[in-house]
Amino acid sequence: MLSVARVHAFADNFIWMVHNGREAVCVDPGDARPVLSYLSETQQRLAGILLTHWHGDHQGGVEDLKAAYPDAWVRGSKKRLKGPSVPLAEGDVIDVLGASFEVLEVPGHTLDHIALVSESPLFPTPVAFTGDTLFAGGCGRLFEGTAEQMFESLNKLNQWPETTQVYCAHEYTEANLKFAVACEPDNAATQERLTHVSAMRSRGEATVPSTLLLERQTNPFLRSESSHVLADRRLQKDHF
Ligand code: ZN
Ligand code: FE
């Protein structure tokens, strides 16, 4: 069986560690130090690095991790990455510690953004690494892509089972849900989730992973019925 461990970086980044107790693969290591600490604390070695997009807070640790683990592979989105890498594209299937992951191209936040999804029986439920595309209660800002692209990217992720665990790259949930409540004031599930998430945050707890079911019920971007609605909501959120 495989597990996914949470490593914190910077103010609000998550670095996810897929591991089997001996080896680990990290997703979006913006900083090497917390990853190296995690590996030494759990006495595991780094087998590989996965990168969802080119932003520094997702790739900044690659060189230091490669220096410490020269055999670790690096795979990620097509934009030129730090260190040797094999670019991934839509439909590619990759092996991560025995689990197959499907690559989805999900442009919007950046043009190179990918997500990695697995329905491997090595996980208790399907898992999705969504980077800065689908957040708990929100979606990434449109730095490079269009609202149409983000709309399609979110719908692509939405094809997976409702039990899919959504592992995004930032703890933005509470702020996202405050906007979600303003956006859909009659959605009781959103209000309930905000109350729950605020209580978790006041206890210092992380609110990720989420599930695709919860996102379908409460995420105003995943719930947008058209790219026009999404564009409108994204613009409002940018100034919220
Ligand atoms: Zn980003
Ligand atoms: Fe980011």
**Percentage, residues of the chain above pLDDT 90:** 95
pLDDT at res. 4: 98
For the chain, the distance separating the N- and C-terminal CA atoms, rounded to the nearest angstrom, is: 42
* Residue range 161-218, pLDDT digits in tens: 999 999 999 999 999 999 999 999 999 999 999 999 999 999 999 999 999 999 999 9
- Structural domains in the chain, CATH included, are 3-238 (3.60.15.10)
Ligand 2 center–CA 165 separation, angstroms: 19
Ligand 1 center–CA 129 separation, angstroms: 13
pLDDT at res. 79: 78
The pTM score is 0.98
Q: State the ligand closest to the CA atom of 55.
A: 1
The residue length of the chain stands at 240
- Residue pair 50/28 in contact (Cβ under 8 Å)? The answer is yes
Identify residue 62 by its one-letter amino acid code.
V
Number of other CB atoms surrounding residue 152 within 10 Å: 18
The DSSP secondary-structure symbol of 230 reads H
- Show which residues are catalytic: 53, 55, 57-58, 109, 132, 170
pLDDT at res. 82: 66
Ligand 1 center–CA 123 separation, angstroms: 26
Q: Alpha-carbon distance 52 to 68, whole Å? A: 22
* Low-confidence residues of the chain: pLDDT under 70: 80-85
Asked if residue 209 has a cis previous peptide bond (ω within 30° of 0), the answer is: yes
**Which residues, in sequence order, are CB contacts of 207 under 8 Å at separation 6+?**
136, 171, 173, 174, 197, 200, 201
Q: Alpha-carbon distance 127 to 164, whole Å? A: 5
Ligand 2 center–CA 186 separation, angstroms: 30
Beta strands in 12-68 (DSSP E): 13-19, 23-27, 45-51
The DSSP secondary-structure symbol of 62 reads H
The strand pairing partners of 19, in sequence order, are 3, 24
